[in-house]
Amino acid sequence: MKSAFDKIAAGLEDAIAYAKGDDSRGRVATVDVKAVREATALTQAAFARTYHFPIGTLRDWEQGRRNPDAGSAMLLKMIQVDPKGVERIIAKVA
């Protein structure tokens, strides 16, 4: 398991990676998907199941290979600020 220090270090590295991201053109700010998920303390598989994201797509996002589109980005941000609230609404959907 990682030490608290290692986790913080990893978090900083993620942040720096994002800061270095392109963004030089028309695209809007993206979302730190990994950070959102880790805040929920769920594994990728569990997070994917909980919020109905395809796991392969979630992987791409976390690894920075792809960026979520506006709709998915919005949902991710919603999970970030109110994970339980989102879960409650999803329960009504499913």
| Contact window for a copy of itself (CB under 8 A) among 3-11, 18-26, 37-45, 77-85 | 77-85
49: contact with a copy of itself by CB under 8 A: no
Site string for a copy of itself, 9-48 (x = CB under 8 A): ----------------------------------------
**Which listed residue (32, 36, 68, 83) binds DNA by CB under 7 A?**
68
DSSP letter for 84, please. Answer: H
37, 31 in Cβ contact below 8 A?
no
CA–CA separation, 88 and 45 (whole Å): 19
The answer to whether 80 touches 39, Cβ cutoff 8 Å, is yes
